[in-house]
Amino acid sequence: MTAFKPLIFSGVQPTGNLHLGNYLGAIRKFVALQDTMDCIYCVVDLHSLTAQLVHEDLKDQTRQITAAFLAAGIDPERHIVFNQSRVMQHAELAWVFNCVARIGWMNRMTQFKDKAGKDRENASLGLLAYPSLMAADILVYRATHVPVGDDQKQHLELTRDIAQKFNNDFSHRIAELGVGVEIQMGDETVNGFFPLTEPVIGGPAARIMSLRDGSKKMSKSDPSDLSRINLTDDADTISKKIKKAKTDPEALPSEIAGLAGRPEAENLVGIYAGLADTSKEAVLKEYGGQQFSVFKPALADLAVEKMAPIAGEMRRLMADPGHIDGVLRNGGERAGVLAEANMKTVRDIIGLLQG
């Protein structure tokens, strides 16, 4: 084997309603990547336990994420769609990676610091070890590329660190078994079983902010439903939320520099650019000098055109949970075959007795 086979992996947590930010920042990208690479898309239900251990509706939330994948255009026959807990090898490899990763690496994770807050001693071990499971999600398939937003870049760097340390520690064993790829690490050549996964960075609207406060990211947990456009919102609701979005009294500028210090204006221009698959510059070229009384209805029409069909298809899919469960079951079986083949080799590399 001289190279790793190109493969995309990404996952979405089943916590709360998906919204426009999730769609523009991640799911639409997932759809586009299908045309160029093999893809594995996962509903990471085990990860959701780090945010909240006891869920009343985790199964339905898992189905809703799956419905969003399918409604947006992900093809579960050409690619793989499944929920993480169906494939036990994710958790098995995560334990191996817990023994590869260093506590100092985990303590440096910004997301852990943010979520644990001041009472870090009371945070769950799962929250601290979350990035190790994320690395396992990716590397149990030896995925070469992961679409990431700004908040996950550090975790992907950690995934690369874990892969690199495993490859270094077991380089001779990997060579003896003939299961690796030669990787140049500075002046040294290492026999690597795991790829150093590369990020796929987002486009012009990868970061969508709240419709009520342009300084805050659009969030499922915001108490105001007017702060976000949910993927299940109908046409009337989408239009109403856009028209009620916070703005300022000035007209739109003709140049990007004119958006400085105007977070709500910049957010709405970014949403338009993302939905139209264009740039903020192009939006301002068309609407520069116009008041929001002109721009908002145009944005509302565009949002309805792009998002309402997805919402309708999601509602149709959610009405047939048996179909969604079948998609996840089939995807889990296919993912499990790939994961077990790689995990069997990992066990051989480590020296675990099996067979």
Give the tens place of pLDDT for each residue, 47-69: 999 888 888 889 999 999 999 99
Angle at CA 183, nearest 5°, toward 171 and 10?
100
Report the relative pairing of strands 181-185 and 188-192 from DSSP bridges: antiparallel
Specify the pLDDT at position 6. Answer: 95
Annotated catalytic residue, options 59, 217, 246, 344:
217
Cα gap 276→306, rounded to integer Å: 9
DSSP state, residue 6: P
202 pLDDT tier (thresholds 50, 70, 90)? low
Q: What's the mean pLDDT in 271-289?
A: 94
Residue type for position 192: G
Contact call for residues 167 and 195 (beta carbons, < 8 A): no
DSSP state, residue 290: -
Cα gap 155→10, rounded to integer Å: 13
Specify the pLDDT at position 352. Answer: 96
Q: What's the mean pLDDT in 302-320?
A: 95
Annotated catalytic residue, options 5, 113, 165, 220:
220
Q: Is 220 designated active site? A: yes
81 pLDDT tier (thresholds 50, 70, 90)? very high
Annotated catalytic residue, options 115, 240, 246, 344:
115
Number of CB atoms found within 10 A of residue 224's CB: 11
Q: Is 240 designated active site? A: no
Which pTM value belongs to this model?
Answer: 0.91
Q: List the one residue out of 222, 171, 216, 220 whose CA is nearest residue 192.
A: 171
1 pLDDT tier (thresholds 50, 70, 90)? low
Mean confidence (pLDDT) of the chain: 92
Specify the pLDDT at position 170. Answer: 97
Specify the pLDDT at position 75. Answer: 97
Please report which residue ranges of the chain form alpha helices under DSSP H.
Answer: 20-22, 28-33, 48-51, 58-72, 89-100, 103-107, 110-116, 125-139, 153-169, 171-177, 235-244, 263-276, 280-287, 292-318, 321-350
220 or 282, which is more confident: 282
152 or 169, which is more confident: 169
User: Is 339's pLDDT higher than 60?
Assistant: yes
Specify the pLDDT at position 244. Answer: 96
Number of CB atoms found within 10 A of residue 250's CB: 11
Q: Is 217 designated active site? A: yes
Q: What's the mean pLDDT in 262-275?
A: 95
Cα gap 256→339, rounded to integer Å: 46
Coil, strand, or helix at residue 139?
helix
Q: What's the mean pLDDT in 319-332?
A: 97
148 or 7, which is more confident: 7
Beta bridge partners of 184: 189
Residue 145: its H or E element: strand 145-148
